[in-house]
Protein backbone atom coordinates (compact mmCIF):
# COMPACT_ATOMS: atom_id res chain seq x y z
CA UNK A 1 0.00 0.00 0.00
CA UNK A 2 1.06 3.58 -0.61
CA UNK A 3 -0.18 6.42 1.54
CA UNK A 4 0.03 10.08 0.48
CA UNK A 5 1.83 12.28 2.97
CA UNK A 6 1.96 16.04 2.58
CA UNK A 7 5.46 16.47 3.90
CA UNK A 8 6.06 20.18 3.21
CA UNK A 9 4.02 23.32 2.60
CA UNK A 10 5.18 26.77 1.51
CA UNK A 11 3.54 30.08 0.73
CA UNK A 12 4.53 33.19 -1.13
CA UNK A 13 2.64 36.46 -0.86
CA UNK A 14 3.91 39.40 -2.90
CA UNK A 15 5.11 42.30 -0.71
CA UNK A 16 2.71 44.95 -2.07
CA UNK A 17 0.06 45.58 0.63
CA UNK A 18 -3.22 47.16 -0.49
CA UNK A 19 -5.48 48.29 2.35
CA UNK A 20 -9.21 48.95 2.19
CA UNK A 21 -8.39 52.66 2.41
CA UNK A 22 -6.15 52.31 -0.65
CA UNK A 23 -9.07 50.76 -2.57
CA UNK A 24 -11.40 53.53 -1.46
CA UNK A 25 -9.21 55.93 -3.46
CA UNK A 26 -9.95 53.92 -6.62
CA UNK A 27 -13.68 53.27 -6.14
CA UNK A 28 -16.70 54.21 -4.07
CA UNK A 29 -16.09 51.87 -1.14
CA UNK A 30 -14.84 52.10 2.42
CA UNK A 31 -13.12 50.11 5.15
CA UNK A 32 -16.34 49.67 7.15
CA UNK A 33 -18.29 48.12 4.24
CA UNK A 34 -15.48 45.76 3.25
CA UNK A 35 -14.72 44.70 6.84
CA UNK A 36 -18.36 44.12 7.79
CA UNK A 37 -19.31 42.26 4.60
CA UNK A 38 -16.15 40.18 4.10
CA UNK A 39 -13.75 40.46 7.06
CA UNK A 40 -10.96 41.62 4.74
CA UNK A 41 -8.66 44.43 5.94
CA UNK A 42 -5.91 44.21 3.33
CA UNK A 43 -4.60 42.06 0.48
CA UNK A 44 -1.41 41.77 -1.57
CA UNK A 45 -1.09 42.82 -5.22
CA UNK A 46 1.90 42.05 -7.44
CA UNK A 47 3.86 44.77 -9.15
CA UNK A 48 4.61 44.65 -12.88
CA UNK A 49 5.99 42.62 -14.51
CA UNK A 50 5.22 39.77 -12.06
CA UNK A 51 3.16 36.96 -13.59
CA UNK A 52 1.31 34.03 -12.05
CA UNK A 53 4.17 31.61 -12.84
CA UNK A 54 6.62 34.04 -11.18
CA UNK A 55 4.62 33.79 -7.93
CA UNK A 56 4.35 30.01 -8.32
CA UNK A 57 8.13 29.78 -8.78
CA UNK A 58 8.76 31.71 -5.55
CA UNK A 59 6.52 29.29 -3.63
CA UNK A 60 8.17 26.25 -5.22
CA UNK A 61 11.69 27.57 -4.48
CA UNK A 62 10.69 27.90 -0.83
CA UNK A 63 9.30 24.37 -0.61
CA UNK A 64 12.44 22.96 -2.26
CA UNK A 65 14.69 24.79 0.20
CA UNK A 66 12.60 23.76 3.18
CA UNK A 67 12.37 20.10 2.13
CA UNK A 68 16.00 19.91 0.89
CA UNK A 69 14.64 18.22 -2.22
CA UNK A 70 15.79 18.96 -5.75
CA UNK A 71 13.65 19.12 -8.91
CA UNK A 72 15.08 15.68 -9.85
CA UNK A 73 13.27 14.15 -6.85
CA UNK A 74 9.80 14.72 -8.37
CA UNK A 75 7.91 12.76 -10.97
CA UNK A 76 4.79 14.90 -11.57
CA UNK A 77 3.66 18.53 -11.28
CA UNK A 78 0.03 19.55 -10.78
CA UNK A 79 -0.51 23.30 -10.97
CA UNK A 80 -3.70 25.23 -10.46
CA UNK A 81 -4.66 28.74 -11.45
CA UNK A 82 -7.52 30.71 -12.98
CA UNK A 83 -5.14 33.46 -14.03
CA UNK A 84 -2.48 31.76 -16.18
CA UNK A 85 0.35 33.74 -17.80
CA UNK A 86 -1.14 32.96 -21.22
CA UNK A 87 -4.52 31.76 -22.48
CA UNK A 88 -2.55 28.61 -23.20
CA UNK A 89 -0.27 26.88 -22.24
CA UNK A 90 -0.80 26.56 -18.52
CA UNK A 91 1.75 27.47 -15.85
CA UNK A 92 2.86 23.92 -14.93
CA UNK A 93 5.27 23.49 -17.87
CA UNK A 94 6.62 27.01 -17.30
CA UNK A 95 7.40 26.22 -13.65
CA UNK A 96 8.91 22.87 -14.76
CA UNK A 97 11.25 24.56 -17.25
CA UNK A 98 12.25 27.64 -15.27
CA UNK A 99 13.19 25.66 -12.16
CA UNK A 100 15.04 22.90 -14.03
CA UNK A 101 12.70 20.01 -13.28
CA UNK A 102 13.25 16.95 -15.47
CA UNK A 103 10.79 16.61 -18.37
CA UNK A 104 8.17 15.07 -16.08
CA UNK A 105 4.43 15.41 -16.74
CA UNK A 106 3.09 18.83 -15.78
CA UNK A 107 -0.56 19.80 -15.97
CA UNK A 108 -2.82 22.67 -14.97
CA UNK A 109 -6.19 22.02 -13.41
CA UNK A 110 -8.93 24.61 -13.60
CA UNK A 111 -11.22 24.42 -10.61
CA UNK A 112 -10.65 27.90 -9.24
CA UNK A 113 -11.08 28.11 -5.44
CA UNK A 114 -11.58 24.33 -5.13
CA UNK A 115 -8.04 23.68 -6.38
CA UNK A 116 -6.55 22.30 -3.18
CA UNK A 117 -9.15 19.59 -2.62
CA UNK A 118 -9.21 18.54 -6.28
CA UNK A 119 -5.39 18.42 -6.50
CA UNK A 120 -5.24 16.49 -3.22
CA UNK A 121 -7.53 13.78 -4.53
CA UNK A 122 -5.66 13.54 -7.83
CA UNK A 123 -2.30 13.22 -6.10
CA UNK A 124 -3.64 10.63 -3.67
CA UNK A 125 -5.11 8.49 -6.48
CA UNK A 126 -1.91 8.73 -8.51
CA UNK A 127 0.27 7.79 -5.55
CA UNK A 128 -2.06 5.01 -4.37
CA UNK A 129 -1.90 3.44 -7.83
CA UNK A 130 1.85 3.02 -7.35
CA UNK A 131 2.61 4.99 -10.49
CA UNK A 132 4.12 8.15 -8.92
CA UNK A 133 6.33 8.64 -5.89
CA UNK A 134 6.57 12.38 -5.33
CA UNK A 135 4.17 14.95 -6.72
CA UNK A 136 4.56 18.71 -6.55
CA UNK A 137 1.34 20.67 -6.10
CA UNK A 138 1.55 24.36 -6.92
CA UNK A 139 -1.22 26.92 -6.57
CA UNK A 140 -0.89 30.48 -7.83
CA UNK A 141 -3.20 33.31 -8.73
CA UNK A 142 -2.70 36.91 -9.78
CA UNK A 143 -6.22 38.26 -9.75
CA UNK A 144 -5.19 41.88 -9.34
CA UNK A 145 -4.49 42.33 -13.07
CA UNK A 146 -7.98 41.08 -13.95
CA UNK A 147 -10.06 43.01 -11.43
CA UNK A 148 -12.14 45.99 -12.43
CA UNK A 149 -10.65 48.44 -9.97
CA UNK A 150 -13.42 51.03 -10.08
CA UNK A 151 -16.91 51.49 -8.66
CA UNK A 152 -18.48 49.34 -11.36
CA UNK A 153 -16.44 46.31 -10.26
CA UNK A 154 -16.35 47.03 -6.53
CA UNK A 155 -18.47 44.02 -5.44
CA UNK A 156 -15.72 41.70 -6.74
CA UNK A 157 -12.60 43.86 -6.71
CA UNK A 158 -12.45 44.26 -2.93
CA UNK A 159 -12.48 40.50 -2.28
CA UNK A 160 -9.39 39.18 -4.05
CA UNK A 161 -5.63 39.20 -3.52
CA UNK A 162 -2.59 37.60 -5.16
CA UNK A 163 -0.71 34.66 -3.68
CA UNK A 164 0.88 31.26 -4.23
CA UNK A 165 1.58 28.06 -2.32
CA UNK A 166 3.32 24.75 -2.91
CA UNK A 167 2.94 21.30 -1.35
CA UNK A 168 5.11 18.18 -1.54
CA UNK A 169 3.04 14.97 -1.73
CA UNK A 170 5.06 11.87 -1.05
CA UNK A 171 4.31 8.17 -1.45
CA UNK A 172 5.13 6.21 1.70
CA UNK A 173 4.89 2.44 1.57
CA UNK A 174 2.95 0.94 4.46
CA UNK A 175 0.84 -2.02 5.53
CA UNK A 176 -2.94 -1.92 5.16
CA UNK A 177 -3.39 -1.15 8.86
CA UNK A 178 -0.99 1.79 8.55
CA UNK A 179 -3.05 3.48 5.83
CA UNK A 180 -4.27 6.85 7.24
CA UNK A 181 -7.67 6.59 8.91
CA UNK A 182 -9.49 8.68 11.48
CA UNK A 183 -8.95 5.93 14.10
CA UNK A 184 -5.18 5.60 13.79
CA UNK A 185 -2.32 8.10 14.01
CA UNK A 186 -0.91 7.45 10.56
CA UNK A 187 -0.08 10.67 8.68
CA UNK A 188 -1.49 11.25 5.24
CA UNK A 189 -4.51 12.07 3.17
CA UNK A 190 -7.49 10.11 4.53
CA UNK A 191 -10.34 10.95 2.17
CA UNK A 192 -11.62 13.59 -0.22
CA UNK A 193 -15.15 14.20 -1.46
CA UNK A 194 -15.67 16.41 -4.53
CA UNK A 195 -18.60 17.83 -6.44
CA UNK A 196 -19.52 20.19 -9.24
CA UNK A 197 -22.63 21.80 -10.72
CA UNK A 198 -22.41 23.86 -13.89
CA UNK A 199 -25.70 25.52 -12.94
CA UNK A 200 -23.43 28.19 -11.44
CA UNK A 201 -21.10 28.64 -14.41
CA UNK A 202 -22.34 32.11 -15.26
CA UNK A 203 -22.83 33.30 -11.69
CA UNK A 204 -19.07 33.69 -11.23
CA UNK A 205 -16.87 33.95 -14.31
CA UNK A 206 -14.57 35.81 -16.61
CA UNK A 207 -16.47 35.64 -19.89
CA UNK A 208 -13.71 36.58 -22.27
CA UNK A 209 -11.35 35.44 -23.68
CA UNK A 210 -13.56 32.46 -24.46
CA UNK A 211 -15.24 30.85 -27.43
CA UNK A 212 -18.77 31.36 -26.13
CA UNK A 213 -18.44 34.99 -27.12
CA UNK A 214 -17.49 36.28 -30.53
CA UNK A 215 -13.75 36.26 -30.69
CA UNK A 216 -11.39 37.10 -27.91
CA UNK A 217 -10.26 40.49 -26.70
CA UNK A 218 -12.08 42.67 -29.15
CA UNK A 219 -12.85 46.32 -28.68
CA UNK A 220 -16.37 45.22 -27.79
CA UNK A 221 -15.05 42.94 -25.03
CA UNK A 222 -13.05 45.84 -23.67
CA UNK A 223 -16.06 48.08 -23.72
CA UNK A 224 -18.30 45.57 -21.92
CA UNK A 225 -15.58 44.73 -19.39
CA UNK A 226 -16.05 41.01 -20.04
CA UNK A 227 -12.40 40.29 -19.23
CA UNK A 228 -13.03 41.16 -15.57
CA UNK A 229 -14.43 38.64 -13.09
CA UNK A 230 -18.20 39.05 -12.63
CA UNK A 231 -20.15 37.59 -9.75
CA UNK A 232 -23.72 37.34 -8.49
CA UNK A 233 -22.45 37.68 -4.92
CA UNK A 234 -25.59 36.70 -2.98
CA UNK A 235 -26.30 33.57 -5.01
CA UNK A 236 -22.68 32.45 -4.83
CA UNK A 237 -22.65 33.11 -1.09
CA UNK A 238 -25.66 30.83 -0.47
CA UNK A 239 -24.33 28.00 -2.63
CA UNK A 240 -20.91 28.29 -0.96
CA UNK A 241 -22.30 27.96 2.57
CA UNK A 242 -24.61 25.06 1.62
CA UNK A 243 -22.01 23.04 -0.24
CA UNK A 244 -19.22 23.58 2.28
CA UNK A 245 -21.50 22.50 5.14
CA UNK A 246 -22.81 19.56 3.13
CA UNK A 247 -19.36 18.22 2.26
CA UNK A 248 -18.12 18.61 5.86
CA UNK A 249 -21.18 16.73 7.14
CA UNK A 250 -20.83 13.95 4.54
CA UNK A 251 -17.17 13.40 5.38
CA UNK A 252 -17.86 13.35 9.12
CA UNK A 253 -20.77 10.91 8.74
CA UNK A 254 -18.80 8.65 6.40
CA UNK A 255 -15.93 8.43 8.89
CA UNK A 256 -18.20 8.37 11.96
CA UNK A 257 -16.58 11.38 13.61
CA UNK A 258 -17.92 14.54 15.18
CA UNK A 259 -16.55 18.06 14.95
CA UNK A 260 -14.77 17.39 18.28
CA UNK A 261 -12.48 14.89 16.58
CA UNK A 262 -11.16 17.55 14.23
CA UNK A 263 -8.19 19.61 15.42
CA UNK A 264 -8.88 22.41 12.95
CA UNK A 265 -11.24 23.34 10.15
CA UNK A 266 -9.51 25.12 7.29
CA UNK A 267 -12.11 26.65 4.99
CA UNK A 268 -11.40 28.27 1.65
CA UNK A 269 -11.07 31.99 2.33
CA UNK A 270 -13.82 33.59 0.22
CA UNK A 271 -15.53 35.62 2.92
CA UNK A 272 -15.14 35.57 6.71
CA UNK A 273 -18.94 35.40 7.02
CA UNK A 274 -18.98 32.19 4.97
CA UNK A 275 -16.29 30.65 7.22
CA UNK A 276 -18.25 31.74 10.31
CA UNK A 277 -21.50 30.25 9.04
CA UNK A 278 -19.80 26.92 8.30
CA UNK A 279 -18.15 26.96 11.73
CA UNK A 280 -21.46 27.66 13.48
CA UNK A 281 -23.29 24.93 11.53
CA UNK A 282 -20.55 22.47 12.54
CA UNK A 283 -20.78 23.74 16.15
CA UNK A 284 -17.06 24.34 16.33
CA UNK A 285 -15.49 26.81 18.75
CA UNK A 286 -13.70 29.77 17.12
CA UNK A 287 -10.27 28.45 18.11
CA UNK A 288 -10.85 25.37 15.93
CA UNK A 289 -11.05 27.32 12.68
CA UNK A 290 -8.16 29.01 10.92
CA UNK A 291 -8.79 32.15 8.88
CA UNK A 292 -6.33 34.63 7.37
CA UNK A 293 -8.59 36.37 4.84
CA UNK A 294 -8.19 39.52 6.96
CA UNK A 295 -4.59 39.89 5.68
CA UNK A 296 -4.69 38.36 2.20
CA UNK A 297 -8.26 38.49 0.84
CA UNK A 298 -9.31 35.56 -1.33
CA UNK A 299 -6.16 34.20 -2.99
CA UNK A 300 -8.29 31.77 -5.05
CA UNK A 301 -6.46 28.48 -5.66
CA UNK A 302 -3.78 29.15 -3.05
CA UNK A 303 -5.88 29.97 0.03
CA UNK A 304 -6.08 26.57 1.75
CA UNK A 305 -2.38 25.61 1.43
CA UNK A 306 -1.41 29.18 2.46
CA UNK A 307 -3.59 28.70 5.56
CA UNK A 308 -2.14 25.27 6.41
CA UNK A 309 1.41 26.59 6.05
CA UNK A 310 0.69 29.62 8.22
CA UNK A 311 -1.30 27.66 10.82
CA UNK A 312 1.60 25.17 11.18
CA UNK A 313 4.08 28.03 11.52
CA UNK A 314 1.97 29.74 14.20
CA UNK A 315 1.50 26.49 16.12
CA UNK A 316 -2.28 26.61 15.60
CA UNK A 317 -1.95 23.08 14.16
CA UNK A 318 0.84 20.55 14.41
CA UNK A 319 2.02 17.38 12.76
CA UNK A 320 -0.27 14.49 13.73
CA UNK A 321 -3.39 16.68 13.86
CA UNK A 322 -6.55 15.72 11.99
CA UNK A 323 -7.63 18.64 9.81
CA UNK A 324 -10.67 19.16 7.62
CA UNK A 325 -10.43 21.45 4.60
CA UNK A 326 -13.53 22.58 2.73
CA UNK A 327 -13.67 24.60 -0.47
CA UNK A 328 -16.13 26.11 -2.90
CA UNK A 329 -15.42 27.92 -6.13
CA UNK A 330 -16.46 29.01 -9.56
CA UNK A 331 -17.95 26.35 -11.81
CA UNK A 332 -19.50 25.64 -9.34
CA UNK A 333 -16.98 23.22 -7.88
CA UNK A 334 -16.52 22.17 -4.27
CA UNK A 335 -15.03 19.55 -2.01
CA UNK A 336 -13.55 18.58 1.32
CA UNK A 337 -10.46 16.66 2.43
CA UNK A 338 -9.71 14.93 5.72
CA UNK A 339 -5.97 14.92 6.29
CA UNK A 340 -3.80 13.70 9.16
CA UNK A 341 -0.82 16.08 9.02
Q: Is 174 a catalytic residue?
A: no
The answer to whether the CB of 333 falls within 8 A of the CB of 114 is yes
How many residues belong to the site for ligand ACO (CB under 6 A)?
A: 23
Residue of 167, 136, 164 lying closest to 55 (CA atoms)? 164
The answer to whether the CB of 306 falls within 8 A of the CB of 315 is no
Angle between helices 272-281 and 233-254 (to 10 degrees): 30
Separation of alpha carbons 48 and 159, rounded Å: 21
- Minimum distance from residue 38 beta carbon to ligand ACO (Å): 5
Residue 111 touches ligand ACO, criterion: CB under 6 A: no
- Minimum distance from residue 328 beta carbon to ligand ACO (Å): 6
Cβ-proximal residue to ligand ACO, closest one: 233
Q: Smaller CB distance to ligand ACO: residue 33 or 227?
A: 33
Separation of alpha carbons 234 and 230, rounded Å: 12
Q: Is the peptide bond before 246 cis (omega within 30 degrees of 0)?
A: no
Q: Is 150 a catalytic residue?
A: no
Phi and psi based region of residue 229 (left: phi greater than 0; alpha: psi -120 to 50; beta: remaining): beta
Residue 33 touches ligand ACO, criterion: CB under 6 A: yes
User: Contact with ligand ACO (CB under 6 A): which of 46, 91, 113, 190?
Assistant: 113
User: Contact with ligand ACO (CB under 6 A): which of 126, 270, 277, 326?
Assistant: 270
Q: Is 239 a catalytic residue?
A: no
- Indicate which residue of 113, 169, 264, 307 is catalytic: 113
Separation of alpha carbons 81 and 90, rounded Å: 8
Residue 312 touches ligand ACO, criterion: CB under 6 A: no
Residue of 317, 319, 337 lying closest to 185 (CA atoms)? 319
- Minimum distance from residue 226 beta carbon to ligand ACO (Å): 16
- Minimum distance from residue 57 beta carbon to ligand ACO (Å): 22
Separation of alpha carbons 174 and 208, rounded Å: 48
- The DSSP secondary-structure symbol of 209 reads S
- Indicate which residue of 228, 268, 291, 309 is catalytic: 268
User: Contact with ligand ACO (CB under 6 A): which of 135, 142, 330, 339?
Assistant: 330
Give the footprint of ligand ACO on this chain (CB under 6 A).
29, 33-34, 37-38, 112-113, 154-155, 158, 204, 233-234, 236-237, 240, 270-271, 274, 298, 300, 329-330
Q: Which residues are catalytic?
A: 113, 268, 298
Amino acid sequence: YYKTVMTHFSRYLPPGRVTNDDLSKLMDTNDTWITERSGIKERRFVEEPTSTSDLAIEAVKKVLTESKLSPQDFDYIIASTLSPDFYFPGIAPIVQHKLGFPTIPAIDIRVQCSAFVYATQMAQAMIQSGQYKRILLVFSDVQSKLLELNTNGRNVAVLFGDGAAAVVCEAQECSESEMPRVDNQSSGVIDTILGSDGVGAELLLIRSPGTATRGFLTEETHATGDWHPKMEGRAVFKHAVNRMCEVAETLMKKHKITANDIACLIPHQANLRISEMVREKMELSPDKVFNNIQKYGNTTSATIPICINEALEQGRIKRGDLILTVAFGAGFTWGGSLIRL
